[in-house]
């Protein structure tokens, strides 16, 4: 039986060889594509609702900050407007709305994306609040309230010039303007909620084709009236086996990983080993 087909987003990945790019890698956002409604949309909303009900302190942070209230209310309005315009109606909340009657959690359950609110401050833009159900090796509560340079301190290439560039870029976004970008990681497991690299239960390393290529489609959108930027994170992933149908991507992925700096490997290489690289190169050689 044939497995899943390679998704179109594989062609959106930045697989350049070399050290981290000094640019943000953003592209202008088509408002019609702020959120992507796909086959995983409902399943991911349902999983987000489960996490909010079972571990709210793990995924919801900063929602009680008085400075966040106006931004959270406007975000809810613009999300509902988008859904009404581009989906025909606002989808029903997938859990008892009495559990999350308002605020960022209620808005998060309308979409499949994690939502963060960035607010300006004396030390630059800061992560003021977030409902992050599907973190990839970070804990929202560890980074809430901090300026973006501290939030991204572990990201290779971010501290320094890029940090200043990001703050300046956010300040120049016009009301309603948005951009998008993608990142990518390799994981051993398909868990959406993955706050740490190492699971509490040791698992054997899966065969290369059983590992997961995970990508976050991220958008930055300036709210229409409140001085705040919404950072959305949509997690999409596929088993490595699908690259059997895309040997070109397999080859580019292997080359990009082999070109990692020691800092990049330490940051995002926990699920990468020679077995995976050799498998990717064998797939590429079959083209």
Instruction: Convert the pLDDT of each residue in 264-278 to its tens digit.
Output: 887 777 789 999 999
Q: What is the pLDDT of residue 85?
A: 87
Residue 28: count other Cβ atoms within 10 Å of its Cβ: 8
Q: For the chain, what are the domain ranges?
A: 25-285
Q: Residue 238 carries which DSSP code?
A: E
Helix (H, G, I), strand (E, B) or coil at 147: strand
87 — phi, psi (to 5°)? -120, -5
- The pLDDT confidence band at residue 157, using thresholds 50, 70 and 90, is low
Q: How many helices (H) and strands (E) does the chain have?
A: 10, 7
pLDDT tens digits, residue range 71-108? 999 999 999 999 988 876 666 666 655 566 578 999 99
Q: What is the pLDDT of residue 255?
A: 96
Q: Is 23 left (phi over 0), alpha (psi -120 to 50) or beta?
A: beta
């Amino acid at each position: 039986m044939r497995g899943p087909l390679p998704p179109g987003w594989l062609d959106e990945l930045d697989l350049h060889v070399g050290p981290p790019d000094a640019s943000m890698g953003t592209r202008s956002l088509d408002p019609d594509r702020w959120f992507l409604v796909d086959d995983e949309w409902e399943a991911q909303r349902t999983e987000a609702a489960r996490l909010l009900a079972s571990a709210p302190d793990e995924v919801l942070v900063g929602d009680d900050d008085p400075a966040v209230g106006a931004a959270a209310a406007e975000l809810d309005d613009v999300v509902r407007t988008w859904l009404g315009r581009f989906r025909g109606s606002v989808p029903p909340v997938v859990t008892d709305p009495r559990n999350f009657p308002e605020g960022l959690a209620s808005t998060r359950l309308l979409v499949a994306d994690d939502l963060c609110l960035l607010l300006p401050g004396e030390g630059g833009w800061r992560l003021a609040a977030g409902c992050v159900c599907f973190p990839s090796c970070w804990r929202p509560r560890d980074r809430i309230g901090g300026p973006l340079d501290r939030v991204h301190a572990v990201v290779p290439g971010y501290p320094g010039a890029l940090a200043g560039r990001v703050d300046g870029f956010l300040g120049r976004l016009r009301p309603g303007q948005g951009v998008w970008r993608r990142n990518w990681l390799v994981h051993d497991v398909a868990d959406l909620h993955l706050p740490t690299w190492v699971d509490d239960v040791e698992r054997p390393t899966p065969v290369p084709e059983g590992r997961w290529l995970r990508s976050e489609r991220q958008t930055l959108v300036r709210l229409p009236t409140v001085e705040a930027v919404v950072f959305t994170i949509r997690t999409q992933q596929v088993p490595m086996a699908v690259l059997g149908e895309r040997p070109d991507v397999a080859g580019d992925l292997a080359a990009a990983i082999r070109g990692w700096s020691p800092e990049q490997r330490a940051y995002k290489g926990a699920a990468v080993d020679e077995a995976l690289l050799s498998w990717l190169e064998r797939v590429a050689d079959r083209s």
